[in-house]
Structure 1
């Protein structure tokens, strides 16, 4: 993931200042120490960027560890760790130290993920406690949640739109040991998507979905032996059928509208009918009193 992200530097910066180096360095150092007793430090000051969800996930396609970031139970971002950082966090907690050279990249298991998640989770808490206005919104109300198995799963869990991103390149205490953490959240005030954006995304996802309707003129019961004996050309009497009383039924047989059967351009068609008004008649001026009642 480090090489893929390092090669792509044509991303549009977000308007406004980036995080102050001193505050972010302190947050990174404290989070790494508390989560894994790992001496991590920032290599350089990260430049905030804004990416579309598709572009973000394309950049993170090879990330071995992807975690959801939630606010109030809703996924609003992600945390991505590369092999270097994930392996170092596992080593620090299982061996108590880092080896001089990193092991070859390997698939990281669920146990590895459970050990590695402590650092980004602690970093979000550190960012939330920071009083620096440059870090405002990067940790407030955010919490690390479940692991996504890959970028495709993340795409299913996140809403489309723009995402604010921080790419943190880290030195891990030994020469040659380094890692990378990417934090991303919805590009909206406070990191939360406005309700209007959520409604628009919901309509965009739901309205194109197919909705099957069945026009029902009437229903009749036929014995099985008669049904098996039927041949082309035979006619069935539709007793009680009314062309003006066609029911449009949705899933499960629920009636969604009434219609009238007709034709248009030589094809069978139905015309929706307005719901009949219910006439309750005039209300009595006063209800008669019960015998003996005041």
Structure 2
């Protein structure tokens, strides 16, 4: 219910709050200039909308047979650039033949070769977006992304992308004088992780304290090993001794959503979710580490030593007297 209410509130917000006109204007210019400078293709952005989507909504908006490019951003942020089949075919045809044929090609599924051929154009467009937003506040969430890899289909996005809100820039484009049309969809995390505008950053750097190189070298020498534990299994000793090569062990409590991050002595310090980053397995923390949320130890409670009991009172207990253990008495 909370997700539904949040989604309705996000949709009711005006377009200006979603990043326009900074990212709107910047992406129009960057996309058109990238195709023109890279291959001499005239690309016109006929319309562009900026909206907030959840991860589930993004998976529903993926065009059929779209080329999906995974983008790597600041602080481990991930984005996606989707090219509709007509846009992909036009870019490939312009690069291979140097011109567009009168008849549009039939739509087909993109390949790894297609992704490699358009990667340069994608990076050129993203660099152009950074340049146009150099003094804009939208640079914090739209800047710093580059091409990382290609996805064969949209199914891995459910595990690779975080369960956060995203800004989705949907551009309806016309190519080659308007004879061919298609969509270019840019998906970026809604919360800004990138650099702020240059003017604001310079003012902040002048007031912020800086670490010295010596301190940085000492901090980087510290080392700590953590193990990611997906699940555990307890077996009797005779069962372990009877294990054979190729045998499969079932982990009943294993889950990708609750991976334990533990020290060498088996102490759990945080929980995480299993995913990917730049094609490698990665973990995203989903709870605060124990050391960060553990309260400071309170001062020991001082317990006064009771008065010595007489021989006549050893068999009874005063109602106002609190019994104290012998080891606490010794500790003071």
Q: TM-score range by the shorter chain?
A: 0.5 to 0.7
Distance verdict in 2 for CA 1:135–1:95, change over 3 Å: farther
Distance 2:138 2:187 in 1: 13
| Displacement after TM superposition at 1:139 (Å) | 4.3
What per-residue deviation string (whole Å, max 9, x for no partner) do you get for residues 44-76 of structure 1? 2x2211111121012116243101111258351
Among 232, 241, 245, which residue is 1:211 paired with?
232
Is residue 2:193 matched to residue 1:190?
A: yes
The count of corresponding residues between Structure 1 and Structure 2 is: 200
Aligned to 1:164: 167
Is residue 2:79 matched to residue 1:77?
A: yes
SS at match of 1:117: helix
Whose helix fraction is larger, Structure 1's or Structure 2's?
2
Aligned to 1:128: 130
| Displacement after TM superposition at 1:170 (Å) | 0.9
TM-score by length of 2: 0.52
- Is the deviation greater in 12-21 or in 51-60? 12-21
Distance verdict in 2 for CA 1:187–1:23, change over 3 Å: closer
| Displacement after TM superposition at 1:173 (Å) | 2.2
Q: Which 5+ residue runs of structure 1 have no aligned equivalent?
A: 1-10, 193-205, 222-253, 258-294
Is residue 2:110 matched to residue 1:89?
A: no
1:78 touches 1:184 (CA, 8 Å); kept in 2? yes
Distance 1:22 1:140 in 2: 14
Matches within 5 A, 1:223-238: none
Aligned to 1:53: 55
Aligned to 2:68: 66
Distance 1:87 1:41 in 2: 16
| Displacement after TM superposition at 1:16 (Å) | 4.1
Among 18, 29, 34, which residue is 2:32 paired with?
29
Distance verdict in 2 for CA 1:85–1:132, change over 3 Å: farther
SS at match of 1:167: strand
TM-score by length of 1: 0.58
Distance verdict in 2 for CA 1:30–1:183, change over 3 Å: same
Distance 2:137 2:177 in 1: 30
What per-residue deviation string (whole Å, max 9, x for no partner) do you get for residues 143-174 of structure 1? 11100111012222222221111011111123
1:82 touches 1:181 (CA, 8 Å); kept in 2? yes
The structure with the largest alpha-carbon Rg is 1
Aligned to 2:112: 110
SS at match of 1:43: strand
Is residue 2:90 matched to residue 1:100?
A: no
Is residue 2:144 matched to residue 1:141?
A: yes
SS at match of 1:79: strand
Distance verdict in 2 for CA 1:23–1:161, change over 3 Å: closer
| Displacement after TM superposition at 1:91 (Å) | 0.6
